Structure 1
Amino acid sequence: MSRSTADAQKQSPLADLDDWESAHVADESGAPVAREGKKESEFRDYRKNVRAGVREFYRLQHTNQTLDFVLAKKREYLPRQRKVMGVWEAMEFLNTLVDDSDPDTDLSQIEHLMQTAEAIRADGHPRWFILTGLVHDLGKILCLFGEPQWAVVGDTFPVGCAYSEEIVFPEFFADNPDSKVAEYQTPCGIYREGCGLDEVHLCWGHDEYLYHVVKDYLPEEGLAMIRYHSFYAWHRAGAYTHLTNEKDRRLLEWVRKFNPYDLYSKGHTKPDVKALTPFYRDLIAEYFPPQLAW
């Protein structure tokens, strides 16, 4: 194998940007299942036997997502000087990410966003909830800004404090430089007990990025869905509760309510993008200005 080929594989360990989501599939009741139909009791075995590309993804993520890396990415991206565009334009921009190899769907990115939103809409949720479903993955445009997969998607976790065993593939943290910093390896680390998740640095990715882009425009329940939907160790396994406060505990139910729609809403019926576009353009205009800084 040539060095360039090996480097390319390490930059793109997954065949598909959304492959990591296959570890978090939910059935109609919201109980996690794998693609083979396994229930939660079998879920950890499935993760252990997951294909090599997903393991390599998490090896890279857990090795490279240090506190210094996260702070550097926040300095780089949170001034939001990369691009100016509206939400619909951002959806079209994201649509240039093509997931040809996804075995579960041939949907475009816009079709997948609409499918998520339509599932929420069908269940009679508020308009802001529907809109949250529509936009929640827009932070994946980080890939179009040149970020590697491990800095865009994947389960999120706090940096600057001890790693929970509830994080997928916790053994890969052994190669993270922060694992050798004693201050970072206590339960609270650089934080204080009960400080609240607003004060905690999660690893960098599309969730945190999009939260900062839209934080002035959506209700706090929708913002929590966006910011924490990949923080499985907290909202599914109950880890890191010692860092949470009353606000986090109140919003937790909304994050959990959102996740069945996020986990795998890809179905067999494509949404009619042309027919649905007027509804979603009006919904976007109800909450967002014509252009946002990205």
Structure 2
Amino acid sequence: MRVLGEIETDRVNIIDPSELMRPEPKFAAKPVGQFRDYTVDENDPIKERVRRTYELMHTNQTVDFVRAKMEQWLKFDHLKATMKEALIKLNDLVDESDPDVDIPNIVHAFQTAERIRKDYPDDDWFQLTGLIHDAGKVMAFFDEPQWSIVGDTFVVGCEWSKNIVYRSTSFKNNIDGDNPKYNTKYGMYEPNCGIKNLLMSWGHDEYLYRVLLHNKTTLPPQALAMIRYHSFYPWHSSGDYSHLNAPEDEETKKWVLKFNQYDLYTKSTEVPDIEALWPYYEKLINKYIPGVLEW
């Protein structure tokens, strides 16, 4: 296991179109048409980069792949670092797919947390959730491919939702599509089994959720749901997978949507005074996720 100082310090360029490219109209602060979309344009290098990233994701994220990644990462033997140290590392991570601003991920973390703090001054757990929600992207510093870290998540082990981005073209080489155990409406699941029992495509959401459980966080269940499902757009934005929902999942979705309005629409060129804010957020980290964590 490496300590934080042993991580390579070269900038890691992460493609994450889930942040501003999937606006939910009721939360948008500007007309939805002003946000980038997923139309294909071979002459646009950024759109092509995004499309290729999703094609790799949708080709390779199979049931076997996800289980292998869980076996690899859920030993929690890659890194020992405090949450603050992991977040500071995000200063070396710039989301190249962001169409509006070119800022390190840690700036987005503080923008999200501070906006939540403004609206929910008494809910310190919610503020901290905003700060740490992308911390699972530290996987990028251990040679994990970009398509296995960022972007929208989806269920593996059953037929793919029609509302997954690039759905009509990007899954053509995914071998699970030819497997009768996985390519039907229910696939390997039972009706109304609950989203907590679904196997999700691997990414920073599920990883951070597992890291927090492993390190015995005292964040409430709502916070853990926000972290685990904030990229699960086919479910929380499009309403898909209702046949797999358990009754309690609608309440979970409300919390995830509450969080996503802050995740999606707080990015700007206005950079918070991070150094001045650290003492406040360090107290929250020490309250809910203290000490050196195993990643």
- Above 0.5 in TM-score? yes
Q: How many residues get paired? A: 274
Report the equivalent of 1:214.
212
Alignment gaps of 5+ in structure 2? 1-11, 42-46
163, 166, 184: which one aligns with 1:166 = 163
Match of 1:259 in 2: 260
Match of 2:251 in 1: 250
For residues 138 and 268 of structure 1, do their structure 2 counterparts lie closer, same or farther at Cα, with a shift above 3 Å needed? same
Measure, in 2, the Cα distance between the counterparts of 1:101 and 1:24: 12
Q: Does 1:108 align with 2:104?
A: yes
Unaligned runs of 5+ in 1: 1-13
The equivalences for 1:1-294 within 5 A come to 16-25=14-23, 29-31=26-28, 37=34, 46-49=37-40, 51-99=47-95, 104-124=100-120, 126-171=123-168, 172-215=170-213, 216-217=216-217, 218-294=219-295
Report the alpha carbon displacement of residue 260 of structure 1 after superposing the two structures with TM.
Answer: 1.0
After superposing the two structures, state which structure 1 stretch, 214-223 or 54-63, moved more: 214-223
Q: TM-score, normalised by structure 1?
A: 0.87
**After superposition, what is the alpha-carbon deviation per residue over 1:223-242, rounded to whole angstroms, capped at 9, x for unaligned?**
11111011000001110011
8 Å Cα contact 2:19-2:98 kept in structure 1: no
- Aligned partners of 1:95, 1:279: CA distance in 2, in Å? 19
Structure 1 residues 107, 48: CA separation in 2 closer, same or farther (over 3 Å shift)?
closer
Deviations 1:133-178 (A, max 9, x none): 0000000111111111110001100001011101111121121000
Q: Indicate if the aligned counterparts of 1:16 and 1:102 stay in contact, CA closer than 8 A.
A: no
CA distance in 2, matches of 1:35, 1:98: 24
* Matched-pair identity in %: 45
TM-score, normalised to structure 2, is 0.86
Q: 1:75 to 1:240 in 2, by over 3 A?
A: same
Moved more, 99-108 or 76-85: 99-108
Whether the aligned pair in 2 keeps the contact of 1:97 and 1:109 (CA below 8 Å) is yes
Once residues 34 and 212 of structure 1 are traced to their aligned partners in structure 2, the CA distance between those partners, rounded to angstroms, is: 36
Counterparts of 2:31 and 2:62, CA distance in 1: 29
Q: 1:81 to 1:20 in 2, by over 3 A?
A: same
> For structure 1, which segment, 120-129 or 221-230, has the greater mean C-alpha deviation from structure 2 after superposition?
120-129
The Cα offsets for residues 42-96 of structure 1, whole Å up to 9 and x where unpaired, read as x8xx322462111111111110100000000000001111111110011122222
CA shift, 1:35, in A, is: 7.4
Q: Secondary structure at the match of 2:209?
A: helix
Confirm or deny: 8 A CA contact 2:29 2:265 kept in the other structure: no
Higher fraction of strand: 2
